Structure 1
Amino acid sequence: MTGTSVSHSSTARAVQFESFGGPEALRIREVPVPEAGAGQLRVRVTAAGLNPMDWFMTSDADTAARFGLSLPCGFGTDYAGVVDQVGAGVTGFAVGDRVFGGALSRAVADYVLVDAAGTIAVGGDAHHTPDGVDDRTAATLAIAGCTAAAALAVIAPGAGDTVLVGGAGGGVGVFAVQLARMAGARVIGTGSASSADALRSLGAEPVEYGGGLVDRVRALAPHGVTAAMDLHGTDTVAAARELGVPDERITAIAARVEGITSANGANAAPGAIEEIAGQVADGRIRVPIAATFPVEQIRAAVELQAGRHVHGKVVVEL
């Protein structure tokens, strides 16, 4: 069964790159409204959440090619909105359903096509947005939530653990800290001095990153650290090793380190993102949104997010 859009326009807006680069290369273009094919959903996007991977993937042609991207190229991966058209053979979704998910480097657009049975990287995916979760919040869940869930699965924190989380105030850290706390662990989170209150509000004990990190962590946790997640680079991996954490209880998401199991959102357990969305709906997980921008200010939104100093998520509204 195929639904029809409430819009009668034949064109829509999409943020695109005509040449790879930074925020200055982003353009808002008028494009034809896509039609849902067999197995697809067309979603009228209302909000798109930004992630570091968005601008990393499109920074240059070689990096883009590693992700299968070519010009002209869309931008952004996390989205939320309303099903606008249902392709043949699709079950479980209907026109008017609120959904969220990921569509690799094409989410910041009025409309996005996703495969009803796809993945973020292949075809895009869609999940029903729970009642009680607004679209701005739903648009922050897919990439960060799946990545945090995958990181937690590597180190398996529980009661009695003290977990060191590097980059705890970032988009993935927001989820990782709260998931680790829900599992019963004590969490020490690294961040800038200005992020201390934000980290405390998530349930982490803040510690400033940079030189002397190991000594500061030892002062906070004289009985030791038992697990660690590096959500920014490799500094937390090095600190955790110096603190005696075994490699099998250390993970990283933004770098590969020999002996350390990397966490990738694509490897999150089936149902992990639905579980996280449910925890957001019932108030067990809080998603701080640092800023929202209209799509016309996409460059400013990306500049803020790419600065890596924002506490919480950045969302673009369409």
Structure 2
Amino acid sequence: MVRAVAATAYGGTEVIEVIDVESRAPESDEVTIAVRAAALNRWDAKQAAGAAGTDPAKLPVRLGSEAAGVITAAGADAVSLEGEQLAVGDEVYGHKLRGAQASELTVKAGLLLRKPAHRSFVEASGLLSNGTTAVHALEAVSVGEGDTLLLHSASGAVGWLVAQLARLRGARVIGTASERNHDELRSLGVEPVSYGEGLLDRVRTLAPDGVDAAIDTVGTDEAVTVSLAVLHDPARLVTIANAQFEAVLAAGGQAIGGGAGADPGTAIRDAARLTLAKFFADDAIGVDVARTFPLEEARAAYELLVTGHAGGKVVLEPR
């Protein structure tokens, strides 16, 4: 039997359980993975709460979409996203993997990338969902060489990747974060500023002539109002936070992801996977992991996730 994380009802973290499910042999274009790490995302908690529907006939709802592990069985036509044949023993990672938070997973091989031997399963499991969002945000506001970017919540799971990718594009990054994270941000080449009262003045001190682009990954009123006050062009403000979609769109900015008025950016995000994989293999980017939990402690992991203050990826490690 396979151990899997599921919502056994619709609700908060109290509905998260680890249940037994049947193992499934791979079809021709599939592989079976012994999962070594599975990352959590905010959508997982929303799905448990019924954001995708509350049909009781669909319970229990398997959770998770990102995982990394070792192939234990492979179909004859199991070809990776890179176009390479996969075999037993290969280390892989991917996202858009339904029910990824489990001890074993059988999925389409085309959703998977080879994991570099020198990178950890934990990091690999948390790269793609946030990484593709980060690329989409940067593309939306055309961040490039010589730009000054104001990045809100630079030490968050998405912001951490935005910061690294923006620096690789040659941009200057001013990143908001709590003071305890400033030294880590400086190590990425980010100029940190504390959020909260007086943020606008602190940003203007660092960028007296304003900024070229702004990315909101936190969803606060402060992030939006400060961005609009220092931006040269409101069209170069983008938010990934549903709570700010209406305000940002009304001001002439952009919203990406899921939700009314947002650009899902499917083509951009799909294309970004191979770029992210190369950067990851070359050690050009890393994933900020806040904490790992054993699979059997999934509920505790979700309790940390929903606080919104994990400060990086929360990852489950099946034993």
Contact 1:79 1:101 in 2 (8 A): yes
Given candidates 253, 266, 269, the residue that maps to 2:240 is 253
- TM superposition shift of 1:204: 1.5
Residue aligning to 1:215? 201
2:30 maps to what in 1?
A: 40
CA contact (8 A) 2:123 2:286 kept: no
- Number of equivalent positions: 298
Q: 1:86 aligns with which of 74, 96, 120?
A: 74
Partner of 1:233: helix, strand, or coil?
coil
Superposed displacement of residue 271, structure 1: 4.1
* Cα distance per residue 1:99-124 (max 9 Å; x no partner): 1111455111012222234xxxxxxx
Q: Which residue of 1 aligns with 2:142?
A: 156
Q: 2:317 & 2:232 partners in 1: Cα distance?
A: 42
Residue by residue over 1:253-295, the C-alpha shift from the partner in whole angstroms, topping out at 9 and shown as x without a partner, is 1222323333346443544223223222322213232211111
Q: Does 1:242 align with 2:229?
A: yes
Query: What is the letter of the counterpart of residue 284 of structure 2?
Result: R
Q: Which residue of 2 aligns with 1:7?
A: none
CA contact (8 A) 2:153 2:177 kept: yes
Q: Identify the residue that residue 283 of structure 1 maps to in structure 2.
A: 283
For the 8 Å contact 2:133–2:269, the answer to whether it is kept is no
**Cα distance in 2 for residues equivalent to 1:135 and 1:27:** 23
Change in CA separation of 1:291 and 1:212 when aligned onto 2, cut-off 3 Å: same
The one-letter code sitting in structure 2 at the alignment partner of 1:96 is G
Cα distance in structure 1, aligned partners of 2:96 and 2:275: 20
4+ residue runs over 4 A deviation:
none
Report whether the alignment pairs 1:100 with 2:100: no
Shift in CA distance, 286/103, structure 1 to aligned 2, threshold 3 Å: closer
Matched AA of 1:46? R
Q: Distance in 2 between matches of 1:284 and 1:215?
A: 33
Q: RMSD of the alignment, in Å?
A: 2.2
1:104-115 pair list within 5 angstroms: 106-115=99-108
User: Alpha carbons of 1:162 and 1:48: their partners in 2 closer, same or farther (altered >3 Å)?
Assistant: same
Which whole-Å CA distance do the structure 1 matches of 2:203 and 2:58 have between them? 44
1:21 paired residue among 7, 11, 22:
11
Give the match for residue 122 of structure 1. Answer: none
Aligned equivalent of 1:128, options 108, 111, 114: 114
1 CA distance for matches of 2:133 and 2:107?
A: 20
How high is the TM-score relative to the length of structure 1?
Answer: 0.86
Partner of residue 313, structure 1: 313
Alignment partner, residue 260 of structure 2: none
- 1:72 lines up with 2:65 in the alignment: no
Residues 42, 111 of structure 1: 8 Å contact kept: yes
Give me the whole-angstrom Cα distance separating, in 2, the residues matched to 1:133 and 1:289. Answer: 13
Instruction: For structure 2, list consecutive stretches of 5 or more residues without a partner in the other structure.
Output: 80-84, 258-264
Amino acid across the alignment from 1:42: T
Structure 2: which amino acid aligns with 1:279? F
In structure 2, how many angstroms separate the alpha carbons of the residues matched to 1:245 and 1:173?
22
User: Which amino acid in structure 2 is aligned with residue 112 of structure 1?
Assistant: L
> Match of 1:165, as an amino acid?
L
Relative to structure 1, the CA distance from residue 70 to residue 192 in structure 2 (aligned partners, 3 Å threshold; closer, same or farther) is: farther
What is the rounded CA distance, in whole Å, between the counterparts of 1:82 and 1:208 in structure 2? 41
1:116 aligns with: 109
Spell out, residue by residue over 1:168-227, the C-alpha distance to the aligned partner (whole angstroms, 9 max, x if none): 111111110010011111111112233222322332211222333222211221121110
- Tell me the SS of whatever aligns to 1:108: coil
1:12 aligns with 2:2: yes
**Contact conserved, 1:177 with 1:204, CA < 8 A, in 2?**
yes
Partners of 1:38 and 1:247 in 2: how far apart?
49
Gaps of 5+ in 1: 1-10, 118-124
How far, CA to CA, are the matches of 2:59 and 2:236 in structure 1? Answer: 40
Q: Secondary structure at the match of 1:239?
A: helix
- Please tell me whether the aligned partners of residues 32 and 104 of structure 2 are also in contact (alpha carbons under 8 angstroms): yes
